[in-house]
């Protein structure tokens, strides 16, 4: 499959249309960079998020991985920013207003809200998926549920 079928409808319907397509893109491909790149591209294309991408654990830092959107900071320390905190807690963080998150790292002043989902593989956090929006309050438990499902497709490859 080379073309993404972009769906209209509620956020839930959009994720439900996207997930089997992401599964199709990942099935039979075990290259993690290729799979992260296509996940970021598919999410960007369906939802037109401001920024969507991966940070991967390397020692005591997160290092920028495949992403879609404007250039971003390359390294984030453990427990720093939304990404480093989600890594440390191994929990999804939904930030309705990034200006109210202590220690938020502003890669762009245009980013207003954010969700960061840790990537857990064999009980270890190997990185995070970070999605940013230009609007406040963009993310909720629906995003958390479906982004986690997408990451499970990724880690099970």
* Interacting residues toward ligand SME by CB under 6 A: 51, 72-73, 76, 81-84, 104-105, 107, 111, 114, 130, 132
H helices of the chain, where?
11-26, 32-47, 81-89, 141-155
Residue closer to ligand SME, measured from CB, 26 or 82: 82
How many Å apart are CA 114 and CA 95, to the nearest integer?
Answer: 5
Residue closer to ligand SME, measured from CB, 44 or 104: 104
79: helix, coil or strand?
A: coil
Residue closer to ligand SME, measured from CB, 63 or 73: 73
Q: Is the CB of residue 90 less than 8 Å from the CB of residue 118?
A: yes
**Nearest approach, Cβ of 17 to ligand SME (angstroms)?**
26
Instruction: State the residue number with the nearest CB to ligand SME.
Output: 81
Residue closer to ligand SME, measured from CB, 132 or 143: 132
Side by side, the strands of the sheet bearing 113-121 are 75-77, 61-68, 51-58, 124-133, 113-121, 93-95
**Nearest approach, Cβ of 36 to ligand SME (angstroms)?**
14
């Amino acid at each position: 499959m080379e073309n993404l079928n972009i769906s209209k409808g509620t956020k839930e319907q959009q994720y439900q249309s996207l997930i089997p397509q992401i599964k199709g893109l990942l099935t039979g491909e075990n290259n993690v960079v290729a799979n992260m790149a296509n996940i970021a591209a598919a999410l960007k294309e369906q939802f037109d998020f401001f920024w969507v991408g991966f940070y991967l654990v390397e020692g005591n830092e997160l290092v920028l991985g495949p992403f879609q959107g404007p250039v971003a900071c390359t390294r984030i320390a453990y427990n720093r920013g939304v990404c480093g905190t989600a890594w440390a807690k191994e929990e999804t963080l939904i930030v309705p207003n990034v200006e109210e998150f202590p220690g938020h790292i502003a890669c762009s002043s245009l980013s207003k809200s954010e969700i960061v989902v840790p990537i857990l593989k064999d009980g270890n956090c190997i990185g995070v998926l970070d999605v940013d929006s230009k609007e406040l309050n963009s993310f909720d438990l629906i995003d958390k549920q479906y982004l986690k499902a997408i990451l499970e497709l990724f880690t099970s490859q």
